[in-house]
Chain A
């Protein structure tokens, strides 16, 4: 919206002096040794501090900050005047900076020691260590980035897998905000037609084309559905997928976990139960963060499993988004396995036939990718199709499950295929298109769902011939919900839209 015509010279309305903003500093290059490390500082004291600690090769300290966006070559000096590091210093004056505050970057030698030394000096001179994401938080608070971008910032900071990080960075660039603003604009344009008809009914405005309006709103609804479908993926990326690894005792669940983790863990400790209090295990699998539920259950000693195993597995199954159901490839599906799979959602389940290395083969060994299918006995067969006479119908309920992934936790055979299967299932078969916006937070998902619900209701109201004022009511609710995500309010937009589109006026 256009700024209001309030003269700033008016004494009573003068903004009071700015609150004291602290100056923050942090090492802003990722840990590890690069050729150059950057220590960044933002805030009103950034330039004065830089003047105290930087000695340019040519000229005096007053060169610091004299020109914005210019690199100076020189040294950072310690309390006793000693050279700490040879650096390039960049001073960027507000507001053309990431935080819209004065920003100073010290490009020093790579390696943690040099960077830490430089940071320590800045802190000594009055900067305070920045909290995670604080630079971006300031960018948001100073109006540099919008709300969806700001929300992505926290995703960036919390990202625990590279995939999640890439997705979050993409959101940060504004993908979601752009998409939602566009959808919202489409709804506002429909509302403008309705409202122009109501508020300017005496004017020369064409009659409403209700069908046309309904189909425009319906189109937006379809797109919202598309976005909502991303919410699970987004949550999977952001928070991880609740995963249960279940199966009878001794089918190799723990070794499978280790194989996925690709390292020895205490899980297969010789002393059962010693790690069972670990609340949660996470692992990255095919770019997706898996959050294992009931890992203690995985480690139950055999004696306990006989008592608790099935019930506990049951509970784990109910709360999981992803189920890895492990059975012994050599033994096939036992009655107990089938009992466990009873009532499990096949769409969320991957059957894992472990210990494939123990299954006798005919011929060409354990190369991956062999044909596999269910036999009548539930026993897995491999090879040239000896049991091909068995038809899928014989499998009953089990035919809804995808064929099992054949793995050997011991040899590592099939683990890659398992990873692919996990990522396939979580991303619903689609390639993870990180260029597409994702609903990253629960708040965004809830509001999008609300917008969708009201959008559908609007379509119904238009079709059922409800009065315009009621149609408008639902449409408004949808727009308000989307606006809550993007931070836009309805009335000014609506009125602008009406005046741009219709010749109103008597």
Chain B
């Protein structure tokens, strides 16, 4: 979807081919957007002109800001979606987008000749001629659903898989792997006893995910929390022999951060309870999602597990949990702009690249769509760096380090986490969005205005001095910080964690300074920058230091064979993965800092030789 929207919005004639038009934007697992790390991705998608943030703002039933006490960089929004509303509002947007056609059908083959995409064959005999193609097949490639002892081909429960495309990709030289994912059972909300559970309310927040609109706050629904009991655990243990984990029915690798209840009880036998979040799936459905009870045990065991859990004793099962196994494309075969290194014009995004989560998928979809459009125009690819966005971290991780389980974003994956904040996504990325044609000039102007106001307020605080004053000092003491005896600039005072900017401005007004009026976003930026100045400067200088190496290009045909002094393992990996830059090379497992130093030396030498030659040539 993000890919199709980006491409169409960039003016390319775009077809969105789907197995079922009705299932567009369906959330097959937890109907939620955001969370720590993922929320930052959604903000970035929005800042670039993508759709996910706006869509969840239109359709949430509960929203929260997480990690408020742990610092601004790891703060993140998480929203529960009204599943049906999320689908519907996305379909409205798709329908209203010029240049975008929706085609129902199964893609059975990619027409590739001379390592370039020429078109797509559909199962109904249609042929779509195209130079670029974004593969976003989710769990559908040779999908297989597993519940208890039975398994059958399906992309998701009740949906046909894409059975032929994998073969066609393999014939084109693409290497596929096998992953697995699972989802918990849904129960009828009318049959649960909320009295035995802990209420999990949402929050009234001034803004949602989108930078570009402040939608009216939506009516929120309550979520609940319960815990598994000793009986739940006993039930699981007794039936473990039926678990696909044990029987080996599931062969693909699943994500460690999303273990089934079976797995949790095997791995953490000492824990006597596990949390179960009970979340409504929408305002117009009774379906309730049991986050924490993911399992693909047989349906009758699922019922036993549910009824052993406090508050769910009489809960009626609507949809059983299940596991799905699918083909993914080994992502080291991709470039940083998500195009195949083997077949030009073939882009891929989302679960098929070995990730999990709607946010990770949407982020890749956006980048793949943008780059497919750029490629069709014959323009240079668009790449975000690790120091610019979580999206950059995500894609760089995928294509250089590869995956050994479905990849999910964590903030700890980002080395410049303090710079890649939820609150500054638009400042980091809106300019790109506008240049690509995904944002209006007015939207960028708003961001620039705010940036100017931030600079203005910072300058004012730097240049304004507060003198020791009885009133001021007693206020400082009330805030729990020490009084001042020497004159201090307002900026210095703001560095104290106890001094909030609105209070500081009030104190400035009281001492006769005219402070001007700024909106909350401006105040937030100024405050964060003052407090984090030292750390931010350190990361910025680290980036400057890294950039020289990071962006040092390695010529495409560079031969590692001629290099003495790098380890054999590093040589093999580098030869195979062909990193585009030294930075990328440095993140490949098995390539050590010592190897990078040697490589740098050789690149320098190659450069100076080249320079030597051109100098000779240019001399008359």
In chain A between 200 and 228, which residues have their CB closer than 8 angstroms to a CB of chain B? 200-204
Pick the contact of A141: B258, B264, B568, B589 (CB < 8 A): B568
Contact for B589 among A4, A142, A470, CB less than 8 A: A4
What residue in chain A is nearest B253 (Cβ atoms)? Answer: A5
The proximity string for B residues 250-279 relative to A, scoring 1 for CB distances below 8 Å and 0 otherwise, is: 000000111100011001100100110100
B565 within 8 A of A: yes
Is A199 a contact of B271 with CB atoms below 8 Å?
Answer: no
In the complex, whether B235 has a CB less than 8 A from a CB of chain A is no
Is A506 a contact of B73 with CB atoms below 8 Å?
no
Q: Which residue of B lies closest to A480 (CB)?
A: B415
Does A66 touch B at the CB level, under 8 Å?
no
Determine the distance from Cα of A255 to Cα of B404 in the docked complex, in whole angstroms: 70
Residue A174, interface by CB 8 Å: no
Interface string of A375-409 (1 = CB under 8 A from B): 00000000000000000000000000000000000
Known contacts A6-B332, A201-B36, A499-B257, A491 near B412 by CB under 8 Å: yes
Asked if B410 CB lies within 8 Å of chain A CBs, one says yes
CA distance A202 to B575 in the complex (A): 42
Mask: chain B, 38-75; 1 = CB below 8 Å from A; 0 = not: 00000000000000000000000000001101111110
Do A469 and B418 touch (CB < 8 A)?
Answer: yes
CA distance A487 to B263 in the complex (A): 33
Given A2-B404, A469-B417, A15 and B567 contact (CB-CB distance below 8 Å): no
B292 beta carbon closer than 8 Å to chain A: yes
Question: In the complex, which residues 535-587 of chain B have their Cβ closer than 8 Å to any Cβ of chain A?
Answer: 535, 561-562, 565-569, 571-572, 575-576, 587
- Chain A 1-19 residues near chain B, CB threshold 8 A: 1-2, 4-7, 10-19
Q: In the complex, what's the smallest C-beta–C-beta distance from B580 to chain A, in angstroms?
A: 16
Q: What B residues does A10 contact at CB under 8 A? A: 173, 175
Task: State whether B410 touches A199 (Cβ < 8 A).
Answer: yes
CB of B78 closer than 8 Å to a CB of A: yes
Docked-complex contact B404 and A506, CB < 8 angstroms:
no
CB distance from B2 to the nearest CB of A (A): 24
Q: Main secondary structure on chain B at its contact with chain A?
A: loop
Question: A505 and B258 in contact (CB under 8 A), knowing A147-B592, A198-B412, A495-B410?
Answer: yes
- If A468-B74, A469-B417, A503-B264 touch, whether A201 touches B567 (CB-CB below 8 Å) is no
Contacts A197-B70, A204-B275; A15 near B412 (Cβ below 8 A): no
A466 to B257 alpha-carbon distance, docked (Å): 28
Cβ-closest chain A residue relative to B587: A489
In chain A, what residue has the closest Cβ to B572? A15
Decide if B177 is an interface residue (CB 8 Å cutoff): yes
- The answer to whether B418 touches A473, judged by C-beta atoms less than 8 angstroms apart, is yes
How long is the Cα–Cα vector from A491 to B267 in the complex, in angstroms? 22
Residues of A within 8 A of B342 (CB): 12
Are A203 and B275 also in contact (CB < 8 A) when A10-B173, A143-B568 are? yes
Q: Which residue of A lies closest to B576 (CB)?
A: A13
Q: Does B458 contact A (CB under 8 A)?
A: no
Q: A141-B568, A200-B36, A470-B535 are in contact. Are A12 and B67 (CB under 8 A)?
A: no
Contact, CB under 8 Å: B411 / A12? no
Residues on A with beta carbons closer than 8 Å to the beta carbon of B148: none
Number of chain B residues whose Cβ lies closer than 8 Å to a Cβ of chain A:
65
CB–CB B576/A505 < 8 A:
no
A232 at the interface (CB under 8 A from B): no
Residues of B near A470 (CB, < 8 A) are: 71, 418, 532, 535
Known: A4-B404, A143-B568, A491-B413. A499 touches B332 (CB 8 A): no
- Residue from B37, B268, B277 in contact with A199 in the complex, judged by beta carbons closer than 8 Å: B37
Q: Across the interface, do A11 and B173 meet the contact criterion of CB distance under 8 Å?
A: yes
Does B222 sit within 8 A of A, measured CB to CB?
A: no
Give A437 Cβ to nearest chain B Cβ, in Å. Answer: 20
Q: Is the CB of A467 within 8 A of B70?
A: yes
A141 contacts which chain B residues (CB < 8 A)? 565-568
- B424 interface hit (Cβ, 8 Å): no
What is the bound-complex CA distance between A281 and B497, given in angstroms? 58
Q: A6-B330, A202-B66, A204-B274 are in contact. Are A505 and B294 (CB under 8 A)?
A: yes
- On whether the beta carbons of B177 and A195 are closer than 8 Å, the reply is no
Contacts of B31 in A (CB 8 A): none
Q: Does B220 contact A (CB under 8 A)?
A: no
Interface size on A, as a range, is 35 or more
Question: In the bound complex, what is the Cα–Cα distance between A473 and B36 (angstroms)?
Answer: 17
A71 vs B140: C-alpha distance when bound (angstroms): 59
The reply to whether the CB of A429 lies closer than 8 angstroms to some CB of chain B is no
Among A1, A200, A467, the residue within 8 A (CB) of B71 is A467
| Partner among B73, B412, B418, B566 whose Cβ is within 8 Å of the Cβ of A495 | B412
Is the C-beta of A492 less than 8 angstroms from some C-beta in chain B? Answer: yes
Give bound CA distance, A2 to B332, whole Å. Answer: 15
Assembly CA distance A412 to B36 (angstroms)? 75
In the complex, the answer to whether B566 meets A468 with C-beta atoms within 8 Å is no
**Nearest CB of chain A from residue B334's CB, rounded to whole Å:** 13
Closest to A151 in B: B594
Contact in complex: A201, B256 (CB < 8 Å): no
Please report which residues of chain A, range 466-506, place their CB below 8 angstroms from some CB of chain B when the two chains form the complex: 466-470, 472-473, 476, 484, 487, 489, 491-492, 494-495, 499, 503-506
Chain A nearest Cβ from B14, distance in angstroms: 29
Least Cβ–Cβ distance between B29 and chain A, in angstroms: 10
Q: A2-B404, A19-B561, A143-B567 are in contact. Are A499 and B594 (CB under 8 A)?
A: no
Query: Residue A140 at the B interface, CB < 8 A?
Result: yes
Q: In the complex, which residue of chain A has the Cβ closest to the Cβ of B271? A: A503
**Within the complex, what minimum Cβ distance (angstroms) separates A44 from chain B?**
13
Q: Are A199 and B292 in contact (CB under 8 A)?
A: no
Q: Name which of A141, A203, A504 has the most chain B CB atoms within 10 A of its CB.
A: A141
The contact of A201 among B66, B413, B569, by CB within 8 Å, is B66
Select one of A11, A15, A18, A147 contacting B594, CB under 8 A.
A147
A5 touches B413 (CB 8 A): no
Q: What separation, in Å, do the CA atoms of A94 and B410 have in the docked complex?
A: 42
How many angstroms between the C-alpha atoms of A88 and B140 in the bound complex? 64
Contacts A143-B568, A197-B70, A201-B66 given; indicate if A6 touches B404 (C-beta within 8 A): no
Complex CA gap A260/B333 in Å reads: 66
B489 within 8 A of A: no
Q: Are B74 and A469 in contact (CB under 8 A)?
A: yes
* Contact in complex: A4, B264 (CB < 8 Å): no
Could you tell me the distance between the alpha carbons of A11 and B177 in the complex, rounded to whole angstroms? 16
Whether B35 and A202, one on each chain, are in contact in the complex, defined by CB atoms closer than 8 angstroms, is yes
A4 with B402: CB separation less than 8 A: yes
Question: Is A7's CB under 8 angstroms from B257's CB?
Answer: no
Do B594 and A4 touch (CB < 8 A)? no
Of B36, B259, B277, B575, which is within 8 A of A16 by CB?
A: B575
**A16-B561, A147-B592, A487-B594 given as contacts; is B67 within 8 A of A503 (CB)?**
no
- Tell me, yes or no, whether B30 is within 8 Å of chain A by CB: yes
**B568's contact among A142, A472, A491, A503, by CB below 8 Å, is which?**
A142
Contact between A503 and B330 (Cβ–Cβ < 8 Å)?
no
Cα separation A16 to B36 with both chains bound (whole Å) = 42
Query: Please, how many angstroms separate the alpha-carbon atoms of A423 and B567 in the complex?
Result: 39
A198-B330 contact in complex given A469-B417, A473-B535, A505-B257, C-beta closer than 8 Å: no
Beyond the given pairs A467-B71, A468-B71, 16 more chain A to chain B contacts, judged by CB atoms under 8 angstroms and listed by A's residue number, are: A4-B330, A4-B402, A6-B332, A13-B333, A15-B576, A147-B592, A199-B36, A201-B70, A204-B274, A204-B275, A470-B418, A472-B412, A473-B535, A504-B256, A504-B257, A505-B259
Q: Could you give 19 example pairs across A and B, Cβ below 8 Å?
A: A5-B177, A5-B330, A7-B175, A11-B173, A15-B575, A15-B576, A16-B561, A16-B575, A143-B567, A199-B36, A202-B66, A204-B274, A470-B418, A473-B417, A503-B264, A505-B258, A506-B30, A506-B258, A506-B277
**B interface list, Cβ under 8 A from A:** 30, 35-37, 66-67, 69-74, 78, 173, 175, 177, 256-259, 263-264, 267-268, 271, 274-275, 277, 291-292, 294, 330, 332-333, 341-342, 401-402, 404, 410-413, 415, 417-418, 497, 532, 535, 561-562, 565-569, 571-572, 575-576, 587, 589, 592-594
Chain A residues in the interface with B (C-beta under 8 A): 1-2, 4-7, 10-19, 100, 140-143, 147, 195, 197-204, 465-470, 472-473, 476, 484, 487, 489, 491-492, 494-495, 499, 503-506
